[in-house]
Chains A and B, each alone.
Chain A
């Protein structure tokens, strides 16, 4: 149970966005997670990103599986649509929702347990279909909700709170996603809100599936010495490779950029993502080299962050499946169900 509430307070001169809404209008119910959980910061980043984009919460659908991370859809955008689904099954739910109404913005929230163990197959196929959604993988190296068992993202040698050492090789969601054709792969950290907010905005604007793997420490079960997903370890090995700024269609790119260090990627919505390379020899548009860099970083323990890979050319699911612009609920019944005679005709074609 919630034991305290965050009061909603209108300050004098409080800033508002294009819809006249305040930042607090993008909050949800009070979080019941442990004090200091990284997931709460990801929640705050989502709320801020939608506030900055001036999105109407009613145009957003939040979906999640099971886990502490998956609980957080309740804690932002209280006026959005949403569902907590079954453990690991959020990607299928999101795929179905996106198929019937492609005009809404889909936000999937999941954990390393939910996505990389029970839900691995589900996530992989949503990536392959390039479902138009942003997928937040709140990665803490453990099953937080069930009290700290190692998850599939746990690094070899990382210690559990009670001392056990993980021996199994980790699944790196970014490498996995790249290997199966992901079109937007990013990594960030709950402690770097500035980076996270701009990645979320870029991911929402991206056409297709946008994966953001967020290191999001579990203060209760995986924030000790010897853990490779603690705050201290993450701050120590944190490495920004590519910075991404979303520039909406209404704004011009004004900053001058040096070829090779800064490059704009045009988006289908008319806006663009301005990439700023912090590592000179990192190319976020080259899939093979991105994978290579990520594999190398596994050796050095470095946590490469930023927009690691982007490809705006592949169509999203709605396009290659030729889904209608009108949401199914608004299509006339005669169109949705053309009747027995029409069905018979279709079946004829296959005889």
Chain B
């Protein structure tokens, strides 16, 4: 087999499962080590470099890092990465002087950013300090996009949102509120050097069933309704509320209803629980508030009396599920009518660009989504970029941030007349973590503790106001334990084949038996057969060394289960294995070095 090319930065990056899974590639273990040392401001700033909104994301991130976390493969529960991010944000000092600053002079390039959501704010964050004149146009009276209009304040306090948006505005970004862009062509005529569209996916789906028109007054589109609540146009709802759909929007709608006076809220799902779209933790939080989730009910009609909504009729469903968990058949086995005062529809969002003219030079593909390049985020019109939910449909905040970073790189290169595709590559920097015998620059001992549980405001207290944050944040004891659960996957095992004398010490000491010395073979499958757990998932890498000097055999390592405990390096008499802290360099707009004029 060809030896593994560890100079490819993706090799070591992939080993850091959380960072690899994070759309913005936040260096999770590095910031957790800073938290462990009580360096909260440093941890905050390290986070901010990649994810821009640590305080916001430390509360409401979709956290794709957690299911990926290596710790899950050891004791079944990921490190509470998101909660630790919030710790860094909550305990930071005043960091304003350490943020990217407004430059003394601008570079004269004008960038229009449409929509004041996380995508546009990230573009501004990356470009304003480089001298770009950024102007954000927002149709609503306040900035933040769905983070303001839809994510309820009991999950994301206004103060946290305001602070992190203000950091970016202070870089010299102009914000025009109550200013909808109603014509793309008119905007383009204003001669901007680049335009970024960060308008989200603003259209909530409707449900056209019998009775829909008659009952209109008490049927609400989830995202519009949440926005009206956020801007205080709505402050009450009926006693009995049905939420249709069981995604994350549904969870916010049901919990908000409770806070506006409803006592009996049911979330109606068409399918069984393992088909729910909502994150497991959002479901748990809703159920803790006594929300009832009703499965296998498919909406049929809205029931009205004297022109007013009084209930909804559902078909009772039954499904055939195969052993892969997929639905292979379904049938209606009955019908049920549930009384209600209001219905909230939370069945999805769509893109809508009524303000982009057909002849603006921007092509649209299927379902009216714009044609956007997945690497550069440029549309079919040069100099017009898309990012966040507006680019490829609704995702989440951290994706919007990553799109923003990539679009900012493109805009920077575009304005400098450089090719959009010759972007600076990712790199890895390795530095030995060895300090001496049994001493490493990281806490390598394995801590067997279980994941800490977040504490919540008591049920009796939390409904008094709409904006009481439910999660209390970790206390000192929880922080101290949770940081030790991190395995430091970025402290990499680095192998030097010429030094190995095949004593087997590393193989014998490894607590998870992931090393082996074996005759070279033609295929990875043959090499894997010599591992103690050969059936490891294939998407986890197998390291294959250069031939060893004494026998020509190869050292192999199953990256699937390595704990980064450093015992192999500790036991190696020749330092053929070493533990090296790997910094994965993810380039942003300010790293496009060759552009320095």
Contact assessment for A38 and B503 in the assembled complex, using a CB-CB cutoff below 8 Å: yes
Considering only CB atoms and an 8 Å cut-off, how many residues of chain B contact the other chain? Answer: 34
B570 in the interface (beta carbon within 8 A): yes
Contact assessment for A44 and B567 in the assembled complex, using a CB-CB cutoff below 8 Å: no
Contact assessment for B504 and A41 in the assembled complex, using a CB-CB cutoff below 8 Å: yes
A3-11, A204-212, A296-304, A336-344: which one contacts chain B? Answer: A3-11
Q: Which residues of B contact A9 (CB under 8 A)?
A: 74, 446, 511-512, 563
Evaluate whether A8 and B511 lie within 8 angstroms (CB atoms) in the complex, with A3-B438, A13-B535, A23-B532 already known.
yes
| Cβ distance B519 to chain A, nearest Cβ, rounded Å | 11
> Which residues from 193 to 237 on chain A have a C-beta closer than 8 Å to any C-beta of chain B?
193, 217, 219, 223, 231-232, 235-236
Q: Which of A13, A44, A217, A236 contacts B508 (CB 8 A)?
A: A44
Q: Which residues of B contact A38 (CB under 8 A)?
A: 503
Contact assessment for A231 and B550 in the assembled complex, using a CB-CB cutoff below 8 Å: yes
Q: Kindly report which residue of chain A lies nearest to residue B534, judged by CB atoms.
A: A15
| Cβ distance B65 to chain A, nearest Cβ, rounded Å | 19
Q: Which residues of A contact B437 (CB under 8 A)?
A: 3
Assembly CA distance A7 to B501 (angstroms):
25
| Cβ distance B512 to chain A, nearest Cβ, rounded Å | 6
Q: Which residues of A contact B573 (CB under 8 A)?
A: 34-36, 219
Evaluate whether A6 and B511 lie within 8 angstroms (CB atoms) in the complex, with A36-B574, A235-B550 already known.
yes
Q: Which of A8, A191, A236 contacts B504 (CB 8 A)?
A: A191
B478 in the interface (beta carbon within 8 A): no
Evaluate whether A7 and B511 lie within 8 angstroms (CB atoms) in the complex, with A35-B571, A36-B573, A231-B550 already known.
yes
Assembly CA distance A24 to B571 (angstroms):
18
Q: Which residues of A contact B164 (CB under 8 A)?
A: none
Q: Which residues of A contact B207 (CB under 8 A)?
A: none
Q: Which residues of B contact A11 (CB under 8 A)?
A: 73-74, 512, 533, 561
Evaluate whether A36 and B502 lie within 8 angstroms (CB atoms) in the complex, with A6-B509, A9-B74 already known.
no
Q: Kindly report which residue of chain B lies nearest to residue A43, judged by CB atoms.
A: B508
The 0/1 profile, CB within 8 Å of B marked 1, for residues 164-195 of chain A is 00000000000000000000000000110100
Q: Which residues of B contact A41 (CB under 8 A)?
A: 503-505, 508
Q: Which residues of A contact B339 (CB under 8 A)?
A: none
Assembly CA distance A209 to B509 (angstroms):
30
Assembly CA distance A43 to B561 (angstroms):
23
A252 in the interface (beta carbon within 8 A): no
A40 in the interface (beta carbon within 8 A): yes
Assembly CA distance A232 to B438 (angstroms):
27
The 0/1 profile, CB within 8 Å of B marked 1, for residues 35-79 of chain A is 111101101100000000000000000000000000000000000
Evaluate whether A235 and B73 lie within 8 angstroms (CB atoms) in the complex, with A9-B511, A24-B511, A41-B504 already known.
no
The 0/1 profile, CB within 8 Å of A marked 1, for residues 67-106 of chain B is 0000001111000000000000000000000000000000
| Residue of B73, B567, B571 ringed by the most chain A CB atoms within 10 A | B571
The 0/1 profile, CB within 8 Å of A marked 1, for residues 527-558 of chain B is 00000110100000000000000110000000
Assembly CA distance A34 to B437 (angstroms):
12
Q: Kindly report which residue of chain B lies nearest to residue A217, judged by CB atoms.
A: B503
A255 in the interface (beta carbon within 8 A): no
Q: Kindly report which residue of chain A lies nearest to residue B576, judged by CB atoms.
A: A36
| Residue of B73, B448, B513 ringed by the most chain A CB atoms within 10 A | B513
B327 in the interface (beta carbon within 8 A): no
Contact assessment for B505 and A35 in the assembled complex, using a CB-CB cutoff below 8 Å: yes
Evaluate whether A4 and B511 lie within 8 angstroms (CB atoms) in the complex, with A13-B533, A35-B572, A235-B551 already known.
no
Q: Which residues of A contact B332 (CB under 8 A)?
A: none
B445 in the interface (beta carbon within 8 A): yes
A19 in the interface (beta carbon within 8 A): no
Q: Kindly report which residue of chain A lies nearest to residue B566, judged by CB atoms.
A: A4
| Cβ distance A241 to chain B, nearest Cβ, rounded Å | 18
Q: Kindly report which residue of chain A lies nearest to residue B500, judged by CB atoms.
A: A231
Q: Which residues of A contact B52 (CB under 8 A)?
A: none
Q: Which residues of A contact B75 (CB under 8 A)?
A: 10
| Residue of B507, B535, B561, B573 ringed by the most chain A CB atoms within 10 A | B573
Q: Which residues of B contact A24 (CB under 8 A)?
A: 511
Assembly CA distance A121 to B508 (angstroms):
34
A14 in the interface (beta carbon within 8 A): yes
| Cβ distance A84 to chain B, nearest Cβ, rounded Å | 21
Assembly CA distance A120 to B465 (angstroms):
87
Contact assessment for A231 and B508 in the assembled complex, using a CB-CB cutoff below 8 Å: no
Contact assessment for A4 and B567 in the assembled complex, using a CB-CB cutoff below 8 Å: yes
Contact assessment for B502 and A6 in the assembled complex, using a CB-CB cutoff below 8 Å: no
Q: Which residues of B contact A191 (CB under 8 A)?
A: 502-504
A12 in the interface (beta carbon within 8 A): yes
Evaluate whether A36 and B511 lie within 8 angstroms (CB atoms) in the complex, with A9-B74, A11-B73 already known.
no
B565 in the interface (beta carbon within 8 A): yes
Contact assessment for A232 and B550 in the assembled complex, using a CB-CB cutoff below 8 Å: yes
Q: Which residues of A contact B505 (CB under 8 A)?
A: 35-37, 40-41
Assembly CA distance A24 to B535 (angstroms):
19
| Cβ distance B1 to chain A, nearest Cβ, rounded Å | 20
Contact assessment for B508 and A219 in the assembled complex, using a CB-CB cutoff below 8 Å: no
Assembly CA distance A75 to B501 (angstroms):
23
Contact assessment for A4 and B570 in the assembled complex, using a CB-CB cutoff below 8 Å: yes
Q: Kindly report which residue of chain A lies nearest to residue B573, judged by CB atoms.
A: A36
Q: Which residues of A contact B565 (CB under 8 A)?
A: 7
Assembly CA distance A8 to B74 (angstroms):
11
Q: Which residues of B contact A14 (CB under 8 A)?
A: 533
Q: Which of A12, A35, A44, A190 contacts B73 (CB 8 A)?
A: A12
Q: Kindly report which residue of chain B lies nearest to residue A191, judged by CB atoms.
A: B502
Q: Which residues of B contact A31 (CB under 8 A)?
A: 509
Q: Which residues of B contact A36 (CB under 8 A)?
A: 501, 503, 505, 571-574
Q: Kindly report which residue of chain A lies nearest to residue B518, judged by CB atoms.
A: A194
Q: Which residues of B contact A5 (CB under 8 A)?
A: 445
Assembly CA distance A236 to B535 (angstroms):
34
Contact assessment for A15 and B567 in the assembled complex, using a CB-CB cutoff below 8 Å: no
> Which residues from 276 to 311 on chain B have a C-beta closer than 8 Å to any C-beta of chain A?
none
Evaluate whether A7 and B446 lie within 8 angstroms (CB atoms) in the complex, with A23-B532, A24-B511, A36-B574 already known.
yes
Q: Kindly report which residue of chain A lies nearest to residue B567, judged by CB atoms.
A: A6
Q: Kindly report which residue of chain B lies nearest to residue A13, judged by CB atoms.
A: B533
Assembly CA distance A41 to B510 (angstroms):
12
Q: Which residues of A contact B551 (CB under 8 A)?
A: 235
Q: Which residues of B contact A43 (CB under 8 A)?
A: 508
Assembly CA distance A14 to B574 (angstroms):
30
Q: Which residues of B contact A37 (CB under 8 A)?
A: 503, 505
Contact assessment for A7 and B571 in the assembled complex, using a CB-CB cutoff below 8 Å: no
Assembly CA distance A5 to B511 (angstroms):
10
Q: Which residues of A contact B76 (CB under 8 A)?
A: 12
Assembly CA distance A190 to B571 (angstroms):
16
| Cβ distance A31 to chain B, nearest Cβ, rounded Å | 8
Assembly CA distance A161 to B448 (angstroms):
43
| Cβ distance B420 to chain A, nearest Cβ, rounded Å | 43
Assembly CA distance A92 to B11 (angstroms):
56
Assembly CA distance A7 to B447 (angstroms):
9
Q: Kindly report which residue of chain B lies nearest to residue A235, judged by CB atoms.
A: B550
Assembly CA distance A5 to B565 (angstroms):
10
Q: Which residues of A contact B511 (CB under 8 A)?
A: 6-9, 24
Q: Which residues of A contact B509 (CB under 8 A)?
A: 6, 31, 40
The 0/1 profile, CB within 8 Å of A marked 1, for residues 483-515 of chain B is 000000000000000000111110111011100
| Cβ distance A196 to chain B, nearest Cβ, rounded Å | 10
| Cβ distance B74 to chain A, nearest Cβ, rounded Å | 6
| Cβ distance B17 to chain A, nearest Cβ, rounded Å | 15
Assembly CA distance A191 to B570 (angstroms):
19
Given A11-B512, A15-B533, A232-B501; 9 other pairs, CB 8 A cutoff: A4-B570, A9-B446, A14-B533, A15-B532, A35-B572, A41-B503, A41-B508, A193-B504, A236-B550
State the A residues within 8 Å of B (CB): 3-15, 23-24, 31, 34-38, 40-41, 43-44, 190-191, 193, 217, 219, 223, 231-232, 235-236
Q: List 28 A-B contacts (CB under 8 A).
A: A6-B509, A7-B445, A7-B565, A9-B74, A11-B512, A12-B73, A12-B74, A23-B513, A24-B511, A31-B509, A34-B573, A35-B571, A35-B572, A36-B501, A36-B503, A36-B573, A37-B503, A37-B505, A38-B503, A40-B505, A41-B505, A44-B508, A190-B503, A190-B504, A191-B504, A193-B507, A217-B503, A219-B573
